Amino acid sequence: MGNVFGKLFRISTWGESHGAAVGVVIDGCPPRLPITAAEIQAELDRRRPGQSDIVTPRKEADQVEILSGVFEGVTTGTPISMVVRNGDQRPGAYDEMKDKFRPSHADFTYQTKYGIRDHRGGGRSSARETIGRVAAGAIAKKLLATALPAGTVEMCAYITRVHDIAVPADALTAFPTIEAIEATPVRCPDPATAAAMIERIKAVRADGDSVGGVIECRVRGLPAGLGEPVFDRLEADLAKAMLSLPATKGFEVGSGFGGTLQKGSEHNDTFENRDGAVRTSSNRSGGVQGGISNGEELVFRVAFKPTATILQPQATVGKDGQPTELMGRGRHDPCVVPRAVPIVEAMTALVLVDHCMRQNAQSATFNP
Amino acid sequence: MGNVFGKLFRISTWGESHGAAVGVVIDGCPPRLPITAAEIQAELDRRRPGQSDIVTPRKEADQVEILSGVFEGVTTGTPISMVVRNGDQRPGAYDEMKDKFRPSHADFTYQTKYGIRDHRGGGRSSARETIGRVAAGAIAKKLLATALPAGTVEMCAYITRVHDIAVPADALTAFPTIEAIEATPVRCPDPATAAAMIERIKAVRADGDSVGGVIECRVRGLPAGLGEPVFDRLEADLAKAMLSLPATKGFEVGSGFGGTLQKGSEHNDTFENRDGAVRTSSNRSGGVQGGISNGEELVFRVAFKPTATILQPQATVGKDGQPTELMGRGRHDPCVVPRAVPIVEAMTALVLVDHCMRQNAQSATFNP
Amino acid sequence: MGNVFGKLFRISTWGESHGAAVGVVIDGCPPRLPITAAEIQAELDRRRPGQSDIVTPRKEADQVEILSGVFEGVTTGTPISMVVRNGDQRPGAYDEMKDKFRPSHADFTYQTKYGIRDHRGGGRSSARETIGRVAAGAIAKKLLATALPAGTVEMCAYITRVHDIAVPADALTAFPTIEAIEATPVRCPDPATAAAMIERIKAVRADGDSVGGVIECRVRGLPAGLGEPVFDRLEADLAKAMLSLPATKGFEVGSGFGGTLQKGSEHNDTFENRDGAVRTSSNRSGGVQGGISNGEELVFRVAFKPTATILQPQATVGKDGQPTELMGRGRHDPCVVPRAVPIVEAMTALVLVDHCMRQNAQSATFNP
Amino acid sequence: MGNVFGKLFRISTWGESHGAAVGVVIDGCPPRLPITAAEIQAELDRRRPGQSDIVTPRKEADQVEILSGVFEGVTTGTPISMVVRNGDQRPGAYDEMKDKFRPSHADFTYQTKYGIRDHRGGGRSSARETIGRVAAGAIAKKLLATALPAGTVEMCAYITRVHDIAVPADALTAFPTIEAIEATPVRCPDPATAAAMIERIKAVRADGDSVGGVIECRVRGLPAGLGEPVFDRLEADLAKAMLSLPATKGFEVGSGFGGTLQKGSEHNDTFENRDGAVRTSSNRSGGVQGGISNGEELVFRVAFKPTATILQPQATVGKDGQPTELMGRGRHDPCVVPRAVPIVEAMTALVLVDHCMRQNAQSATFNP
């Protein structure tokens, strides 16, 4: 019942890990936006399994097909349906999961809620579900880049921590480039930290274990005025978007949890006139004040827990309620965070475009 | 545009800090629920200003009037409209704010987004807006307690940290009682920590400064099966609810950000058969797996930044864009966190009731 | 659960006929629209009971109070809460209805659905509920008149039939003026027909009986492009809006049911170039094609059944399921149609403003 | 932007007449409902072109493929994605339409609203769009039949008028059987009238002309209590559903427009105790009172205009605004009404299931 996201730029995702296909329908994309399957594919390729030696080896081309809503290279304003056929299914690898609940997976809760579950690869609870998000997000990103003054909005997400290996304080004050982020498969723009992260991921994989980490996302060039208080604050919708991702356990914007260690006199972002514009001299607010973007950099972080699937024996119970042991199988990511980077970007783009449309609905309708 | 919350138990809040009144309309409350104004008032009194010597001295009775939807002591299934008249308005105290943007407040963003703002006391961006949430939450709490097996669901929220004063690890393993929480005005159930927190709040107030902190919320007795993946995961809707509150900067569920420091083998909650039920032997998941409650305790935390209003001179700019200085005035909370406790509970109850109704819509419609 | 209307210009109405008050909250009204209580009152006065000798004599000032969202004479972009206190309640007049179901009223269905009902004057099912719609509609009308090129959009609704007394064919080809419509209490702009309608209404009232009729609504000056196929076609949303009104039994747009008697070659509206614009030479489409306004006059009609309350003895059953007789009491309209005219206009304005905002959300976000 | 329908049983349709495919995603279908592609196909076959000699000869197998949400023959509670590949495309037949606006079609309005349109076969405005509705409706029908007491709910739709050929009064007092309806390709259960209708359709086709008509839909066995006043009345949502269909111009429930010719004393449905149940002695209400089903037969009618495409020369203008002439081409239905019967049923089932779920959400959550 909760597979629709967005109010005006609205997506419906569908599909299971080992079903026939996964996909998405977008309703509300403005017409005449030039878009190609290649642009969408580029984002899917960043999310794709098998892209490096620190992610799952499942072989999926993840080739997107656009079935509607695009005509002669541009959107028509009608629903855009996109589908990716599943390829390298090995449902047999999941036979054991049919009757045993994998610890910290969604097996037990899906079974309890629905009274049934597609146990193959986690079914709907698989991160494979995010393909539809990334495909839709690719269009949102294009729209975001095009809808506002050219060259203004820039977005990036990257890893700041894997397990206990973190980017040193102040190493990333400059806005990271896509090139720096994509320079290594771990998507951390600080080269030394990236190397250590990769090493750690390989080490835990060798142990059949897993790790999690933190992704930071930054957006610059956003206009002030996005966000719809009191409930649909920009950070509230971002928090929901991020916590809707598999394996996420936390969200913070600007100073976040750390900001609670400061006093108001230290934490407040004072205003100043910079180059004729009202700006803040610091950015502990993270680009939002009162739920509305203030024109400063939007900055938030998302916590991802260690991958639940580990290749070690674990105690669990079966569908019959009896204690048993489960030996992890199947192909999996020892650390989901590198592949989550484009997903975080996609969700961010979806939220921002939706809020742009909501703000425009008001400001374009009446502007005395 | 974002003043409606919930899908089935849906609330619309309205009102400004220094306008005529604030209030809420609830659409979707099931009929025949016994409810009295006194029950709602009890929750509002916990949120009320002037309740202790560590909160704002603004004098407001915050007396609720039920205007519709309740007949002969029970709900009728029609919209419940509740209103609280504003009393101790001193708009004159805010004259300076008319033309100056208070740092880290919503003055600048509201002015930019809407081209106008009710500057008196922050208008709609004031935490006074949360009165409607608490009134609606009181009904949601009653429903939550009554709708499920009697005595099953228990909820509590409390402060675990103010500035750098935190409850010691393991001090709160037992589920805190309401009495312990309400024993002090700071709403921390650990007496020694509470005393230190109160002292700190008084100290920063004496300096004209402010502090923030962290609230933890726990719910036990929830059935497994609440949450609607993939977007409306239980924790995603909770994250949105919490980040929609004034002054919040972060949300985490279960192990949260700290969980990223563990390996999968350490972090996974293994299943066991306890007293004939499928239970987890630990609760790093925080009561949700795959976006759905698993029957364990729901545990999450919310970060509140230090109050933006401080009684110290701050640099800022005016509506004319020119640099100026602002001396904080008006009545304010040196720390908003104690009064935020009932608000966090209210939002939690609203999310949980909405999800109960969503789950029931499915399970009661077809159950072979 | 169904008391919220609109997607972007969203209203929540509340209140019962003999409760404390009725009202509405609007979320999504653009900021800086000048609006006064007097402008809203003017529309409420057109809906008000006791306004003439052919409507119910219930005495209600229906005085509106704006509680939020308007500051210094203009909207602020925050929710607008409006309340009308109920005055001339005589709940005692409804004691008999407590235990007996009035034929063709909502007594039985409310009792069955909710297991309870406020029997006084029909409670929520009373047409008194429409006060909130008319108050919100007044703001929508103002916005509609102001948002688009000045003087362009004109709307009118009027009665074309009462019982079997109908406006002669072709009597209303010209767009009726408000003055002509409001010239008589029956709100039919054709004077001779109006006189006959009034006579009929008085005659049935003398018999303790009632009649229904048909309202036509026309809007000119609408831009082409409003409407969101495939489900939210302009006429679909209008149909829903109209059938959501008490006592309505039918809706038709353009040629309506009568159009089914023509062949395609007779019914089609051919296009022509008129004064440099693409126009249709006829308007059997009623201003909508494919669910989208085409710039021609929007024309639709709504059927209202005869008032269910009649002052004659009627057979019915009681809450105990036993047959009994009911003698109609209370104050009522022998014909609801005259007072329904401003309500139809209000709902039309709400739908049109919502669709303007939806269209603007798209066209203002991307326009290459 | 308006391609999502339903609140709890929510469908997103997509696809253009001559694009790659058309389809639908259902979100909110309860789990464990047995469903096969064959059951869906059976409904699609009733809608399919080429099924008889009075409909369009376009050859489409309209073969449905279920891509997700069904596992081992039952629904899983996750989104159900269904796709139908387009086959017999002849886009070349529409070259002329690229630059000329077909009278009473959506060409002009789509071009004006979106600034672009897929002109091939009407693109999204084609009735081919309704395939997704029928596929989703098949599941809703199955659910409706299964969710309530077995054998209780029965639904049928049929044609009561084509052009001026109408079923005689009182010919259809008995609830028509599916067999009687499907006995002729025109789907009118009165054999003599059906024969005359078929003759008329063939006659207008021979002239290159078209006709419209009226469909009546009846549902018996519905429980009392469905419908969510004040805005989401059952008849309001049905009206929206019907007016969202291509070529519809009117909707009426129960006595409809004709009911306005009666006095209240004639029109009221008095209550009686029949076999121990509260029933009405007549059914001018059409099964709904105050927006809520009353347990009597739900009866409503929908007006369809004559097909806009005719094989005769018509005056029009081109995209350049210049007058021109258009000679209709392509394959088309001389009368859309027979194929619209399963579509009306599908939309009815979707509305009813959604309202069942909404009612259950309330009644199952709290029932003292």
Chain B, chain C: beta-carbon pairs less than 8 Å apart? 147
Cα distance between residue B227 and residue B356, in whole Å = 8
CA distance D155 to chain C (A): 21
Give residue B309's identity as a one-letter amino acid code.
T
Q: What is the pLDDT confidence band of residue C301, given thresholds at 50, 70 and 90?
A: very high
D264 is known to lie in a ligand binding site? no
Judged against a pLDDT cut of 80, whether residue B24 lies above it is answered with yes
C302 CB neighbours in chain D (<8 A) are none
Model confidence over B132-164: pLDDT tens digits?
Answer: 999 999 999 999 988 766 568 999 999 999 999
Q: Which of C110, C257, C314 sits opposite D268 (nearest CB)?
A: C314
Buried b (16+ CB within 10 A) or exposed e, D310-345: bbeebebbbeeeeebebebebbbbbbbbbbbbbbbb
- Residues C221-239: pLDDT tens digits? 999 999 999 999 999 999 9
Size of interface A-C (CB pairs under 8 A): 72
Distance from CA of D368 to the nearest CA of B (A): 7
Taking only the tens of pLDDT, chain D with its 368 residues reads 999 999 999 999 999 999 999 999 999 999 999 999 999 999 999 999 888 888 888 788 999 999 999 999 999 999 999 999 998 766 677 788 888 999 999 999 999 999 999 988 889 999 999 999 999 999 999 999 887 665 689 999 999 999 999 999 888 889 999 999 999 999 999 999 999 999 999 999 999 999 999 999 999 999 999 999 999 999 999 999 999 999 999 999 999 999 999 999 999 999 999 999 999 999 999 999 999 999 999 999 999 999 999 999 999 999 888 999 998 776 788 999 999 999 999 999 999 999 999 999 999 999 88
Least confident of C80-84, C115-119, D212-216: C115-119
How high is the pLDDT of residue A34? Answer: 97
Closest Cβ opposite residue B305 in set A108, A113, A259: A259
CA distance A223 to A149: 10
What is d(CA C75, CA C71) in angstroms, rounded to the nearest whole number? 6
Give DSSP secondary structure letters for D81-144.
EEEEE--S--GGGGGGGGTBPPTTSSHHHHHHHHS----GGGGGGSGGGHHHHHHHHHHHHHHH
CB within 8 Å: A365 and C77: no
pLDDT of residue D176: 96
DSSP state of D294: -
Chains near C (3 or more Cβ pairs under 8 Å): A, B, D
Pairing relationship of beta strands A74-75 and A70-71 according to DSSP bridges:
antiparallel
Given D8, D361, D366, which is nearest B32 (Cβ)?
A: D366
D364 contact residues in C (CB cutoff 8 A): none
ipTM value, please give it.
0.97
Percent share of chain B, pLDDT over 90: 85
Q: Do D4 and A23 touch (CB under 8 A)?
A: no
**Architecture in CATH for domain C4-363:** 4-Layer Sandwich (3.60)
**Nearest Cα residue in chain B from A11:** B231
Nearest residue, CB atoms, D365 vs list B30, B365, B366: B30
What is the pLDDT at residue A282?
97
Residue C91 is assigned to a ligand binding site: no
* pLDDT tens digits, one per residue of A281-330: 999 999 999 999 999 999 999 999 999 999 999 999 998 889 999 987 76
Nearest residue in chain C measured CA to CA from A356: C365
Contact B220, B227 (CB under 8 A): no
Torsion angle of the four alpha carbons D16, D19, D24, D25, in this order, in degrees rounded to the nearest 10: -120
A362–C357 CB contact, under 8 Å: yes
Beta strands in chain C (DSSP E): 4-5, 10-15, 21-27, 64-66, 70-71, 74-75, 80-85, 154-162, 165-166, 213-220, 248-253, 271-274, 277-280, 288-289, 292-293, 298-304, 313-317, 323-327
Nearest-CA distance A156 → chain C (Å): 22
Inter-chain touch A31–C366, beta carbons under 8 Å: yes
Amino acid identity of residue C330, one-letter, is: G
DSSP state of B309: -
The strand pair at C64-66 and C154-162 is best described as unpaired
Tell me the three-class secondary structure of chain A, residue by residue.
CECEECCCCEEEEEECCCCCEEEEEEECCCCCCECCHHHHHHHHHHHCCCCCCCCCCCCCCCCEEECCCEECCEECCCCEEEEEECCCCCHHHHHHHHCECCCCCCHHHHHHHHCCCCCHHHHHHCHHHHHHHHHHHHHHHHHHHHHCCCCCCEEEEEEEEECCEECCCCCCCCCCCHHHHHCCCCCCCCHHHHHHHHHHHHHHHHCCCCCCEEEEEEEECCCCCCCECECECHHHHHHHHHHCCCCEEEEEECCHHHHHHCEHHHHCCCEEEECCEEEECCCCCCCEECCEECCCCEEEEEEECCCCCCCCEEEEEECCCCEEEEECCCCCCCCCHHHHHHHHHHHHHHHHHHHHHHHHHHHCCCCC
Q: What pLDDT sits at residue C129?
A: 96
Q: D-chain residues within 8 Å CB-CB of B232?
A: none
A152 annotated binding-site participant: no
Which residues are bridge partners to B219 per DSSP?
Answer: B155, B298
List residues in chain D touching A: CB distance below 8 A: 1-4, 8, 10, 12-16, 19-23, 25, 27-28, 31-32, 65-69, 71, 74, 76-81, 83, 113-118, 123-124
Report domain extents, chain C: 4-363
**Which of these, D100, A216, D359, C91, lies nearest to B71 by C-alpha position?**
C91
Residues of C in contact with D111 (CB under 8 A): none
> Which of D14, D68, D113 comes nearest A68 by C-beta?
D14
Chain B residues interacting with chain C (CB cutoff of 8 angstroms): 1-4, 8, 10, 12-16, 19-23, 25, 27-28, 31-32, 65-69, 71, 74, 76-81, 83, 113-118, 123-124
